[in-house]
Amino acid sequence: MSTTIIHHLASVDHASAQGQQKEILDLALKQVGFLPNMYLNMANAPGMLSTYLHGYSLFRSESGLTPAEQEVVFLSISQFNGCNYCTAAHSMIADKVSGVPKEVLQAIRTQQPIPDARLAALAAMAVEMVARHGQPSPAVVKTFLDAGYQERHLLYIILAAGVKALSNYSNQAFGSRVDERFAAYRVD
């Protein structure tokens, strides 16, 4: 897979940022506790970072999915989209924060069958929505619903896919450098 990187936009320096860039970076810092390289790149378009932060927060707070399930969705989409930055970040969160079983995390990272039927159905639904541009096959939807998920969860997967499109695509465009705290989970 060939990668095109935008070379003419630099990361925003938080210390010298002004106006909307400073406001959104201050908010991000307050929410996350540090400024990931991804955010410093996205801040070139403050509305983009604002939309990302808002959608990410709503997915986390409203989806009704457990933290582990949320991470499976984000990680599966990021891995499918080939975003090494988000795959590393969500792998660290999955392992250290969200409680994703190690064998599930490893399966997603290596594109192997997930050894948990419910999480496998969730991951398959997340990837299906992205891969088929929001037109999932009836079989994947049935497996997802049979695993105990609801149609409303599908809407939150769409929200997660939108959030990941913002982060995955901008990371790929900028060639975002994986932050030190995620480096142990680097996949490239």
Residue 120 counted as domain residue: yes
| 142-176 pLDDT tens trace | 999 999 999 999 999 999 999 999 999 999 999 99
In percent, the amount of the chain with pLDDT more than 70 equals 96
Whole-structure pTM value: 0.94
Neighbours of 14 (CB within 10 A): 16
Residue 131 counted as domain residue: yes
- Residue 169's domain comprises 65-185
* Closest among 142, 149, 158, 132 to 69, alpha carbons compared: 149
Residue 73 counted as domain residue: yes
Residue 160 counted as domain residue: yes
| 48-92 pLDDT tens trace | 999 999 999 999 999 999 999 999 999 999 999 999 999 999 999
Residue 136 counted as domain residue: yes
Residue 108 counted as domain residue: yes
Residue 162 counted as domain residue: yes
Domains in the chain, number:
1
Residue 55 counted as domain residue: no
CATH number for 70: 1.20.1290.10
What is the C-alpha separation between 43 and 17, in angstroms, rounded?
9
